[in-house]
Amino acid sequence: MIYKKTKIVCTIGPAVGTVDKICELIDAGMDAARFNFSHGTHSEHSLYIDNVREAGKLKNKMIAVIQDLSGPKIRVGLLENGSIFLKENQMIKITSQSITGSSQMFSTNYFNLINDVKKDEMILLDDGNLKLRVISIHSSESYIECEIINGGLLKEHKGINLPNTNLNLPSLTKKDMEDLDFGLEKGIDFVAMSFVRKAEDIKLLRDIIHSKGKSIPIIAKIERPEAVVNIDSIIAETDVIMVARGDMGVEISTEEVPLIQKRIIRKCNEAITPVITATQMLESMIENPTPTRAEASDIANSILDGTDCVMLSAETSTGAYPVLAVRTMTKIILKTETIKKTNYFTEMFVEDSPENTLHTICNSATEIATRVNAKAIITITHTGKSPLLLSNHRPAAQIISATFDDTIIKKCKLIWGVESILIKQSDDYIETVQSIKKEILESKILNEGDRIVIIAPMPFLQSESANMIQVTQL
């Protein structure tokens, strides 16, 4: 059995919406399915989610479902004939009034634009391909006048980015709330929040989810400069971080993005928070059957940085080679994971850590597994804490999380190196170990005679976290 440790998140769309195609994605290495609510209808997403679950049953593999909320995206309004051409050094007006735009003036869906922007601030259009500079603000007439710095064709509904502006935007839009209600009804496993600016945004979403009687892990998407500044408090508040390099690359200088990515991943590793690296990882494979060498290096370097997951967007949702893109990513992951990074992660765990006992158990299990040549470390968990901590020690042995709760299995889908098995509830340790061994052999995860290391809470399932290590054989 091919066993990769870095997880793959695939965006589901028209190119891979059928059960058969999703089965192919699972065979190729998909661990979690992302649904981008910036596109598609509820009925389309409902069908795709059902198909993911059906494919998971057919392949006997649980696939986590991630709902990615649109967030407060600022966009260009309607334009004459669908597009206008902006000429460099000329002037153009932007209004918050509802009009059909022309080469003299166009509208935006952000009504507070006139109140928020200041003279000389930059306005970026269409992912930064076009650039404007604010020359004057005319509040009484509801428009601003801008100089066109970088011109070109502007299509309606394209994105607007304001990298220098402190925005007075809501964290969640009316559409987000409607989409969230839909997602909770469908039983999503994770919800991703777009354009997070501060920890309070995550708290707001969590409170809303709790008010609906649910408890869903939140993924904070880091896209705006403000989020980078507040990264420590955001990491402390959220469950998972996504380094969303698309909008980040528009609002932050391109040359800064690689270093910011490395810094965020390192901070997530230190905080024991799973992290996803996303956007343009295999962008060329939207149209071509092979990646660029730079894309292969990008994936490899993200893994070496310490990312838990890598993500594909349009490559799988609408691309011409979705399954091949996942296979390619899996090959790059497997090759990169042959490199051993000794003492890179264990050095982060300090003596005064409140989780020091569990860290010590995980570190000892990692060292013991290496010395006895164990094929896997089994962690028996009822909270999901021990597989997360064990993952951060980056053991060479496979990590298998044994649990009685399928929600923990889904949470582990975004954690580096963790495979999970569902076992029957039992209060007896010896009986549980026999059940685990039986499941591992029947699933052909490991072979008879393989040595394994087990960590578990003692008294069994009464202690909060693992505090016992056993070496045994299948």
The answer to whether position 166 is within a domain reads no
Q: For residue 207, what are the contacts with CB-CB under 8 A and spacing of at least 6?
A: none
- Verify that 215 and 315 share a domain, yes or no: yes
Q: Summarize pLDDT for 260-299 with one digit per residue, the tens.
A: 999 999 999 999 999 999 999 999 999 999 999 999 999 9
Q: Summarize pLDDT for 441-472 with one digit per residue, the tens.
A: 998 889 999 999 999 988 887 777 788 999 99
- Verify that 188 and 324 share a domain, yes or no: yes
The answer to whether position 118 is within a domain reads yes
- Verify that 106 and 60 share a domain, yes or no: no
Backbone angles phi, psi at 275, to 5 degrees: -135, 135
Instruction: Quote the number of domains for the chain.
Output: 3
What pTM was estimated for this model as a whole? 0.92
Find the helix packing angle between 42-58 and 174-186, rounded to 10°: 30
Give me the pLDDT at residue 2, please.
63
Asked if residues 374 and 397 have their Cβ atoms less than 8 Å apart, the reply is: yes
Q: For residue 164, what are the contacts with CB-CB under 8 A and spacing of at least 6?
A: 118, 121, 122
- Verify that 186 and 281 share a domain, yes or no: yes
Asked if residues 241 and 273 have their Cβ atoms less than 8 Å apart, the reply is: yes
Find the helix packing angle between 42-58 and 19-28, rounded to 10°: 60
- Verify that 65 and 147 share a domain, yes or no: no
Exactly one of 4, 34, 93, 224 is catalytic; name it. 34
Task: Tell me which residue range forms the domain holding 248.
Answer: 7-71+172-336
**In the listed set 308, 336, 364, which residue is the last one of a domain according to the structure?**
336
Could you write out the DSSP letters of every residue in 53-105?
HHHHHHTT---EEEEE---S--BB--BGGGEEEEPTT-EEEEESS---B-SSE
What whole-number distance in Å separates Cα of residue 219 and Cα of residue 221? 6
Q: What is the CATH number of the domain that holds 467?
A: 3.40.1380.20
Active-site residue flag, 279: yes
- Verify that 26 and 87 share a domain, yes or no: no
The answer to whether position 376 is within a domain reads yes
- Verify that 136 and 252 share a domain, yes or no: no
Exactly one of 75, 158, 203, 263 is catalytic; name it. 75
Give me the pLDDT at residue 347, please.
55
Measured from the Cβ of residue 443, the count of other Cβ atoms closer than 10 Å reads 13
Owner of token pair 């989810």? 209
Exactly one of 5, 221, 394, 410 is catalytic; name it. 221
Active-site residue flag, 34: yes
- Verify that 95 and 46 share a domain, yes or no: no
The answer to whether position 1 is within a domain reads no
Q: Summarize pLDDT for 311-356 with one digit per residue, the tens.
A: 999 999 999 999 999 999 999 999 999 986 654 555 555 455 546 7
Exactly one of 277, 279, 330, 366 is catalytic; name it. 279
How would you write the pLDDT of the chain (474 residues) with one tens digit per residue? 568 999 999 999 999 999 999 999 999 999 999 999 999 999 999 999 999 999 999 999 999 999 999 999 899 999 999 999 999 999 999 999 999 999 999 999 998 999 999 999 999 999 889 999 999 999 999 999 999 999 999 999 898 999 888 888 889 999 999 999 999 999 999 999 999 999 999 999 999 999 999 999 999 999 999 999 999 999 999 999 999 998 888 888 889 999 999 999 999 999 999 999 999 999 999 999 999 999 999 999 999 999 999 999 999 999 999 999 999 999 999 999 998 665 455 555 545 554 678 888 999 999 999 999 999 999 999 888 999 999 999 999 999 999 999 889 999 999 999 999 998 888 889 999 999 999 999 988 899 999 999 999 888 877 777 889 999 999
Q: What is the CATH number of the domain that holds 248?
A: 3.20.20.60
Residue from 354, 356, 378, 352 nearest 365 by CA: 378
Active-site residue flag, 75: yes
The answer to whether position 248 is within a domain reads yes
Q: What is the CATH number of the domain that holds 98?
A: 2.40.33.10
- Verify that 322 and 380 share a domain, yes or no: no
- Verify that 137 and 46 share a domain, yes or no: no
Burial class of residue 459 (count of CB atoms within 10 Å of its CB; 0-12, 13-18, 19+): exposed
